[in-house]
A = this chain, B = another copy of it.
Amino acid sequence: MELESRSDEGLADTPVEPGRVRAISLERAAEVSREIRDLISAGHERRAWELLRTLHPADMGSIVAGLPRSSREAMLRIMSPETVAWMFRQMNPAVAARIGTRIGAGMMSTILRQLRPQLALETLRRLPTLRVRPRLALETLRRLPTPTLRIRRESGSAESQLEDTLDESEPLAHSLDEAGAIMTASFPSVGRSELVESARANLRALEEDRERFSHVLVLDDGGELFGQISMVDLALSENDTPVADIAETVVATVNMDTPVEECARLQRHYNLTYLPVEEGGRVIGVIPSESLLSATVEEDTRQMMQVASVAGEVIDGPLMTSIRTRLPWLTVNLGTTFLAAATVSLFEPTLTQVVVLAAFLPVVAGQGGIGGTQTLTLIVRSIALGELVGVGATRILVREAALGILHGVWLGILVAVVAIIWKQNLGLGLVLGVAMFGNMIIAGSVGAAIPLLLRRMGVDPAVASAVIVTTITDVFGFLLFLGIASAAISLIQ
């Protein structure tokens, strides 16, 4: 059964208007969620909706997303497409798509038309039913201001164009990671020779959307960027002030194809609230503050997830998405652990003679892995925050290697003492201590070198660093430990 809008039934299906809702605590949100579930189970769907409609759309979204499917559908049947769009606007598109799976094509089309094109497309791409709705999909694609998609508008039938676009999902995914996908083409601006009065008039013409902007752009006659006027200055200026008198320099601009990652870096580094988008010297759009700030938070999430190899996933999303995200990395990692296994295998004769060595394999490798991950996480994040400008790679490498030496001395002595006491074997303790010392130096150096190297190669250091670093610390840890043990076997036996 597909859900369709019931707004024609004349029910009180609109939420409390924006600007009149307050935040609720996490505890209250959990409580409301329970109450709504109970009310729906008892058949009081209208009363459940009365409770839900008083909430902020961000809270409404997370509560609806958390409901069991039948309760969720009961709520969606009551909500108008406008309300659903209002809620989707505050939501991760993957979650929106999961909620939207059972919404009928007609209602979904109305909802998508009320979203920013990029958000609409991101939602649409994740709908399992996408391929049966080529016209709906194409209509959304057409509204997207990215150049990659614009080229595709011109040739072929709707269905074949959609097939082309979806099958070539690589360039599509690429262009969605660019500034063009999160900008809006309608923004407040004023000519540099005009007065504050015109700036106000242009701003007023944007109607409800104007709350999204922190500045009015000042443009030259040719559409080139001259400067910006903050809303504060606009609020405090007289109508007959020339805008050129109060304009300030715009700190940063981007192009349509600037990666969203770079937009997020600019936001963090310069503490920006918006970004103008230029193309061929002219301003063609603006990334408004809500999109820019969401982009930064999403980039932070992506980065943290990518270090753990789970990028692109949301909790409670479809199982298939999770498998597609995680299993490839798990499989790659399996390959690298076999490298470690092959290293250990080389020393089977030694292990046969002194089987107690096997017990200490996880100690050497585990410590190296943690040490390497500490360093690489610090460097991946420092790169993202732009903290490594002018700091030479050599200086960082030397620093992390030095830390490896200091940590190695402490951990080497500690591990040696514990092993000597535990196994009553002086030789074993010494070999273990030396191997630990060596592996901590490797961990520090490699943990620093790999992300720096990946960045120099133009690869996102968050993506592959962790797998590479832990493989190296595993393999070299085993080589050191079992190699030294083999050489000094008479000491241990």
Q: Which A residues lie at the B interface, using CB under 8 A?
A: 19-23, 26, 29-30, 33-34, 56, 58-59, 62-63, 65-67, 90, 92, 95, 200, 203-204, 210-211, 213-214, 230-232, 234-236, 248-252, 266-271, 273, 289-290, 293-294, 296-297, 300-301, 303-305, 307-310, 313-316, 319, 322-323, 326-327, 329-331, 333-334, 336-338, 340-342, 344-345, 348, 351-352, 355-363, 365-367, 369-371, 373-374, 376-379, 381-382, 385-391, 395-396, 399, 402-403, 406-407, 410-411, 414-415, 418, 470, 474, 478
Contact = CB atoms under 8 A, between A and B. Distances in A.
B19 A248 contact: yes
A237 B337 CA distance: 66
B305 A29 contact: no
How many of these chains are in the complex?
A: 2
B334 A414 contact: yes
B316 A396 contact: yes
Contacts of A415: 334
B58 A270 contact: yes
Given A211-B232, A248-B19, A390-B29, A403 B322 contact: yes
B252 A22 contact: yes
A58 to B, nearest CB: 5
Contacts of A389: 26, 29-30, 33, 59, 62-63, 66
Contact residues of A: prevailing secondary structure: helix
Given A23-B269, A65-B390, 11 more contacts: A56-B251, A92-B387, A200-B235, A203-B235, A231-B232, A301-B381, A304-B307, A308-B377, A323-B403, A344-B358, A344-B362
A208 B21 CA distance: 32
B377 A305 contact: yes
Given A56-B270, A355-B348, A396-B315, A374 B30 contact: no
Contact of A361 (B270, B315, B362, B386): B362
Nearest to A333: B370
Most buried by B among A63, A90, A309, A337: A337
Q: Which 4 A-B pairs have the closest CB atoms?
A: A66-B390, A33-B390, A231-B231, A23-B252
8 contacts: A62-B389, A271-B294, A273-B293, A322-B403, A334-B411, A341-B359, A341-B362, A369-B369
A356 B348 contact: yes
Nearest to A64: B390
